[in-house]
C-alpha cells in the first residue's frame, strides 16, 4: 500500500505541471489583462506591463511562475497587493467551515433517507423523497438561495442577507462564533439541500443493489430482525461504493461553492475566485486553481486508499 501511495504521489507531479501549464495558457490568452482596466496613460501602462512581466513571452511568464510555485511562492495578487498564498489562506478556511458543516449535515440526512427510500421502493414515501432529491439536483443553487433570502431575510427578517459577521459590531469568543453560525444558516441550508439530494440518490441506488444479494436472503433465513439486516449488513456494504464520493468531497471542502458564496456574499474561496475573474487577477486565479487541482488529486488518492481499507478484496500494488 505504501508503495502504491508513493507511486501515485510521484505520478501527480508531471500531471500537475502539465495541468498548470494549460491553465496558465488559458488565462494568458484571455482578452485583456490587469493593465487594460487601469485608468492610466499609455506610458504608465507600458511600465505596469513591464512591472508584472506581461511584456514577456507567455512561456517565459509561465516558467517564471512555476519557478516561484516550486519554492512555495504563488506570486502577488494584482488587486490586493498581497502574496497569493496569504490571500488564499485568509479565505479558504471560511469556505471550509461552511462546506464541512453542510457536508456533515447532508450525510446525516441522506443516509437514513436513502435507506428508507430503498427499503420502501415504489411507495409514497419513496416517491416523495425521489421528487425532493430530483428538485435538489435540478434547481440552480442561486435560485434556491434567492428564494431563501426573499423569505427569511427580506420578508421575515429572521436571518441576515449577506456576509459572515454582523457589520459594525466587534464580537469575541462565543458571541463571535454564534454570530458566524447565524450568518451561515441560509447558505448552509442551500448547500446541505443540494448535497443531500445527490447523496440520497447514491445511497438509495447502492442499497437497492445490496438488498438483491444472496447473503441478504441468507440473513433473513437465519431469522435475523429486519433492522439488523438492513443497518448492520446491508448499509455497511452499501457504503463501500460511497467511499469514493466522500474522498472526492475533500477538495470541495476547501474550494468553496462559487455561486452560493456569491449570492450570500460569503467571504470564501469561491467568491474570491469569481472576484478575481472580473478583476483579471490572474496570479490569484492561478493560485486558487492549482490548489483545487492538487486537492482533487489528493482526494482521488484518499478515496482509493479508503476503498481498499473498507473492502479487503481490493489490493493495490
pLDDT of 248 reads 74
> Measured in whole angstroms, how far is the alpha carbon of residue 150 from the centre of its chain?
25
Q: What is the mean pLDDT of the chain?
A: 86
Q: Where are the domains of the chain?
A: 2-70, 87-310
The answer on pLDDT for 80 being more than 90 is: no
One-character DSSP codes across 40-102: --HHHHHHHHHHTTTTS-HHHHHHHHHHHHHTT---B-TTT-SBHHHHHHHHHHHHHHHHHHH
- Residue recorded with cell 513571452: 57
The most confident of 256-260, 284-288, 313-317, by mean pLDDT: 284-288
The answer on pLDDT for 32 being more than 80 is: no
Give one word for 53, left, alpha or beta, with left for phi > 0 and alpha for psi -120 to 50.
Answer: left
**Residues in Cβ contact with 295 at an 8 Å cutoff, skipping those fewer than 6 apart:** 250, 251, 254, 255
- Residue 117 — pLDDT band, cuts 50, 70, 90? very high
**Residues in Cβ contact with 24 at an 8 Å cutoff, skipping those fewer than 6 apart:** 58, 61, 62, 65, 286
User: Three-state SS for 39?
Assistant: coil
Q: SS in 3 state form for 192-213?
A: HHHHHHHHHHHHHHHHHHHHCC
- Residue 146 — pLDDT band, cuts 50, 70, 90? very high
d(CA 246, CA 103): 9
Better-scored residue on pLDDT, 200 or 226: 200
The answer on pLDDT for 317 being more than 90 is: no
17-21: average pLDDT: 94
Q: Please name which of 254, 252, 271, 290 lies closest in space to residue 96, comparing C-alpha atoms.
A: 254
Better-scored residue on pLDDT, 42 or 206: 206
- Residue 163 — pLDDT band, cuts 50, 70, 90? confident
pLDDT of 316 reads 59
Per the structure block, which three cell numbers stand in for 31? Answer: 482578452
283-298: average pLDDT: 90
DSSP structure class, residue 311? -
Give the tens place of pLDDT for each residue, 50-70: 887 878 888 999 999 999 999
pLDDT of 20 reads 93
Fold of 87-310: MetI-like fold (1.10.3720)
pLDDT of 213 reads 82
**Residues in Cβ contact with 32 at an 8 Å cutoff, skipping those fewer than 6 apart:** 280
Vertex 313: Cα angle to 311 and 317 (nearest 5): 105
Per the structure block, which three cell numbers stand in for 136? Answer: 435538489
Q: Please name which of 235, 237, 233, 208 lies closest in space to residue 221, comparing C-alpha atoms.
A: 233
216-229: average pLDDT: 82
Helix or strand holding residue 242 (H, E) = helix 242-255
How many CB atoms are located within 10 Å of the residue 225 CB?
11
pTM for the full predicted model: 0.85
- Residue 182 — pLDDT band, cuts 50, 70, 90? very high
250-264: average pLDDT: 82
d(CA 277, CA 279): 5
d(CA 274, CA 283): 13
Strands (E), the chain: none
pLDDT of 312 reads 62
Least confident of 6-15, 34-43, 95-104, 234-243: 34-43
> Measured in whole angstroms, how far is the alpha carbon of residue 298 from the centre of its chain?
13
d(CA 298, CA 302): 6
Amino acid at each position: 500500500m505504501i508503495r502504491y501511495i508513493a507511486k501515485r504521489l510521484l505520478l501527480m507531479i508531471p500531471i500537475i505541471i502539465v495541468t498548470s501549464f494549460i491553465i496558465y495558457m488559458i488565462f494568458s490568452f484571455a482578452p485583456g489583462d490587469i493593465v487594460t482596466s487601469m485608468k492610466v496613460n499609455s506610458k504608465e501602462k507600458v511600465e505596469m506591463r513591464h512591472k508584472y512581466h506581461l511584456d514577456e513571452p507567455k512561456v517565459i511568464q509561465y516558467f517564471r511562475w512555476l519557478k516561484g510555485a516550486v519554492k512555495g511562492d504563488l506570486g502577488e495578487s494584482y488587486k490586493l497587493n498581497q502574496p497569493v498564498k496569504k490571500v488564499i489562506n485568509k479565505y479558504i478556511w471560511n469556505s471550509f467551515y461552511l462546506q464541512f458543516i453542510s457536508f456533515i449535515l447532508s450525510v446525516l440526512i441522506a443516509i437514513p433517507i436513502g435507506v428508507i427510500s430503498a427499503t420502501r421502493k415504489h411507495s409514497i414515501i419513496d416517491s416523495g423523497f425521489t421528487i425532493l432529491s430530483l428538485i435538489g439536483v435540478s434547481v440552480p443553487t442561486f435560485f434556491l438561495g434567492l428564494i431563501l433570502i426573499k423569505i427569511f431575510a427580506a420578508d421575515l427578517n429572521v436571518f441576515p442577507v449577506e456576509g459572515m459577521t454582523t457589520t459594525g459590531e466587534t464580537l469575541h469568543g462565543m458571541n463571535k462564533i454564534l454570530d458566524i453560525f447565524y450568518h451561515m444558516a441560509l447558505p448552509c441550508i442551500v448547500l446541505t439541500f443540494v448535497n443531500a439530494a445527490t447523496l440520497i440518490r447514491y445511497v438509495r441506488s447502492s442499497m437497492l443493489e445490496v438488498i438483491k444479494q444472496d447473503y441478504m436472503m441468507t440473513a433473513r433465513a437465519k431469522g435475523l430482525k429486519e433492522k439488523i439486516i438492513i443497518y448492520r449488513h446491508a448499509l455497511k456494504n452499501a457504503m463501500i461504493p460511497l467511499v469514493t464520493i466522500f474522498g472526492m468531497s475533500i477538495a470541495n471542502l476547501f474550494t468553496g461553492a462559487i455561486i452560493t458564496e456569491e449570492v450570500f456574499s460569503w467571504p470564501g474561496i469561491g467568491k474570491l475566485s469569481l472576484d478575481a475573474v472580473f478583476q483579471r487577477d490572474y496570479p490569484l486565479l492561478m493560485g486558487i486553481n492549482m490548489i483545487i487541482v492538487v486537492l482533487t488529486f489528493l482526494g482521488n488518492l484518499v478515496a482509493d486508499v479508503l476503498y481498499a481499507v473498507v473492502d479487503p478484496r481490493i489490493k493495490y500494488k
